[in-house]
Amino acid sequence: MQSYLQYRYLRSSIHRLIGADREKHTVDEDPSSSRDSPAPEAVSNLPGPDLQKEHATPILSCAKVLEKPDSCCIGLSEQIFIVSWDGPNDPANPKNFSIARKLMTTLIVGAIALVVGAASATDAAIVPQAAEEFHVSDVAESLATGIYLMGYAFGAVLAAPFSEIFGRNLIYISTLMLFAMFILGSALAPNFGGQVVLRFLAGFFGSTPLVCAGGSIADLWDQLEKTYAFPIYAIAGFGGPVLGPVFASYVAFGSLSNWRWAEWISLIIAGLVLAFVLLFMPETFGPLILQWKAQEIRKLTGDERYKAELEVTHRTLSMRMKVALTRPFVMAMEPIVILMTLYITVLYIVLFTFLDGYTFIFKDVYGISQGLTNVCFLGIYIGTCLPALLIYPIYRITEKDLAKVRAAGRHNLDPEVRLWFGMLGGSISIPVSLFWMGWTDYSSVSIWSPLIASTLFGYGVLCVFLMVYMYIIDSYEIYAASALTLVTFVRYLIAGVMTVVGIPFYRNVGSHWTLTIMACISALLVPLPYVFYKWGPTIRSYSKHAAVKV
Could you report the average pLDDT of every consecutive run of 10 residues in the chain (550 residues)? 71 70 53 41 39 49 55 53 82 90 94 92 85 89 90 86 80 94 93 93 92 87 91 90 83 68 89 93 88 85 80 70 76 86 90 87 89 89 93 93 86 88 90 94 92 94 93 83 86 89 87 92 92 88 68
**Residue 81 pLDDT:** 80
**Residue 68 pLDDT:** 47
**Residue 39 pLDDT:** 36
Q: Kindly state the DSSP code that residue 71 receives in the 8-state scheme.
A: T
Q: Alpha carbon of 298 to those of 1, 7, 12, 267, 312: distances in Å? A: 24, 15, 14, 43, 14
In contact, 4 and 287? CB cutoff 8 Å: no
CA–centroid distance for 436 within its chain: 32
> Beta strands 63-66 and 80-83: pairing type?
antiparallel
**Residue 299 pLDDT:** 84
The whole model's pTM is what? 0.86
**Residue 550 pLDDT:** 43
Nearest to 450 by CA among 439, 460, 437: 437
**Residue 255 pLDDT:** 56
Domains of the chain: 99-308 (1.20.1250.20), 325-550 (1.20.1250.20)
Q: What is the largest CA-CA distance in the chain?
A: 96
In contact, 101 and 282? CB cutoff 8 Å: yes
**Residue 44 pLDDT:** 34
In contact, 75 and 316? CB cutoff 8 Å: no
In degrees, to the nearest 5, what angle opens at C-alpha 334 toward C-alphas 464 and 423?
25
Stated as kind and residue range, the H or E segment containing 63 is strand 63-66
Question: How many whole angstroms separate alpha carbon 384 and alpha carbon 377?
Answer: 11
